[in-house]
């Protein structure tokens, strides 16, 4: 049937089109018996023009969630729980234990005198310390005492345990690449025979060896992680504020710095990109979006994050998630410091990462 006939007889054209569609559906049905499917019916959804954000932007106000984190100690011990954590689950990914499509987040509590038993797993983990003092983590034979604002790395397949030798509750944000590792079906774990793994190096050894602009001569590392596993906030804060005296901030990102591996200048972790930024009081950023999904935690200061029509007040220790390819702006009432982690480093290595300014 040619175009002229179709125009002259629309009823006949519709009937012919319906017949074609029925033939196709019958073909698809027969193909399905062999577990085959036509790509042309799914191509646009499989390869869209731009990413569709997975999950939703959401804020966990620390003042609201902290009581639940603390109450968990009344219900279960750190030893029984193994890791006493309240998961920060994205409301758009209910039941998944995920904060984004590729990352996990939770708030972990340890009380004085407790030990969270030693284990190891293929997932990489980070800790960002929220409140308290006197708790420690021991990673691959070295213990480090943690303070609020510290960023601590637990590399893949390293034995680690946590303990608390001080007073009062200790809370930190756990970030792991659990969904990413699960996608590859590469999850393994092993429990240590003792609650506390053996310590083989003095406290502060890693920072002294690798975190002072110096490296032992001849040192070679087989790990993809930074050999520095505790980045103290005291040093980080000093570096951030020094930036404000050295020049103007990025108009879309503020004074943004990334945690690096001192061996090669790359990201500190192989699957999770960790950054920290400062916005001076009264400043605001221009719209920015990127393909990585990001989790932010307020270290100090107050302000607001705007994601589309949503406005999230930012106060100390609040956590906000922004799915990939959602634009956001930041507005600082006080000097505002934000720690964040995302899957950017994995995307960069695979050549996927994109960003858009404005």
- Mind listing the pLDDT tens digit for each residue in 23-56? 999 999 999 999 999 999 999 999 999 999 999 9
189 - beta bridge partners? 121
C-alpha distances out from residue 147 to 25, 69, 243, Å? 63, 18, 23
Cα 86 to Cα 200: distance, rounded to the nearest angstrom: 31
Residue 16 has pLDDT above 90, yes or no: no
Mind listing the pLDDT tens digit for each residue in 211-253?
A: 988 888 988 887 889 999 999 999 999 999 999 999 999 999 9
**Which among 302, 301, 299 is positioned nearest to 313, based on CA atoms?**
302
294 - beta bridge partners? 322, 342
Structure tokens at 272: 């999770």
The answer as to whether 38 is a domain residue is: yes
Q: CATH code at 241?
A: 2.60.120.10
Q: At 236, is the secondary structure helix, strand, or coil?
A: helix
150 and 264 belong to one structural domain:
yes
The answer as to whether 152 is a domain residue is: yes
Scan for tokens 């020049």, then name that residue: 247
The answer as to whether 274 is a domain residue is: yes
Percentage of residues of the chain with pLDDT beyond 70: 98
The predicted structure's pLDDT at residue 324: 98
C-alpha distances out from residue 222 to 17, 78, 219, 260, 319, Å? 62, 32, 10, 16, 33
14 and 86 belong to one structural domain:
no
155 and 34 belong to one structural domain:
no
Residue 1 has pLDDT above 50, yes or no: no
Domain that holds residue 20: 3-46
**Which among 152, 163, 151 is positioned nearest to 111, based on CA atoms?**
163
71 and 38 belong to one structural domain:
no
pTM of the model: 0.93
87 and 27 belong to one structural domain:
no
Cα 60 to Cα 315: distance, rounded to the nearest angstrom: 10
């Amino acid at each position: 049937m040619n175009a002229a006939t179709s125009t002259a007889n629309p009823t006949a054209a519709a009937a012919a089109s319906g017949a074609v569609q029925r033939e196709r559906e019958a073909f698809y049905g027969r193909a399905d018996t062999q577990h085959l499917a036509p790509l042309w019916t799914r191509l646009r959804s499989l390869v869209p023009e731009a990413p569709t954000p997975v999950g939703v932007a959401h804020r966990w106000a620390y003042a609201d969630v902290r009581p639940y984190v603390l109450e968990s100690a009344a219900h279960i011990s750190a030893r029984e729980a193994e890791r006493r954590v309240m998961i920060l689950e994205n409301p758009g990914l209910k039941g998944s234990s995920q904060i984004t499509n590729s990352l996990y987040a939770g708030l972990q509590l340890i009380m004085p005198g407790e030990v969270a038993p030693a284990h190891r797993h293929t997932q990489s983990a980070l800790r960002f310390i929220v409140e308290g003092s006197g708790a420690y983590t021991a990673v691959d034979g070295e213990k480090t005492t943690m303070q609020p604002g510290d960023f601590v790395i637990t590399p893949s397949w390293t034995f680690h345990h946590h303990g608390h030798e001080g007073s009062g509750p200790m809370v930190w944000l756990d970030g792991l690449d659990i969904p990413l590792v699960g996608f590859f079906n590469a999850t393994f774990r092993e429990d240590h025979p003792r609650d506390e793994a053996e310590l083989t190096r003095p406290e502060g050894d890693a920072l002294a060896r690798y975190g002072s602009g110096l490296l032992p001569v001849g040192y070679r590392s087989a790990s993809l992680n930074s050999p520095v596993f505790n980045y103290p906030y005291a040093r980080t804060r000093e570096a951030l504020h020094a930036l404000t005296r050295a020049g103007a901030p990025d108009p879309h990102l503020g004074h943004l710095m990334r945690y690096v591996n001192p061996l090669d200048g790359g990201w500190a972790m192989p699957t999770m990109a960790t950054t920290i930024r400062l916005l001076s009081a009264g400043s605001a950023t221009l719209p920015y979006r990127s393909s990585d999904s990001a989790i932010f935690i307020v270290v100090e200061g107050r302000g607001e994050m705007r994601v589309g029509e949503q406005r999230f007040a930012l106060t100390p220790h609040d956590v906000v998630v922004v799915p990939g390819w959602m634009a956001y702006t930041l507005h600082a009432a006080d000097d505002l410091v934000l720690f964040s982690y995302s899957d950017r480093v994995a995307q960069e290595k695979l050549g996927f990462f994109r960003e858009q300014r404005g």
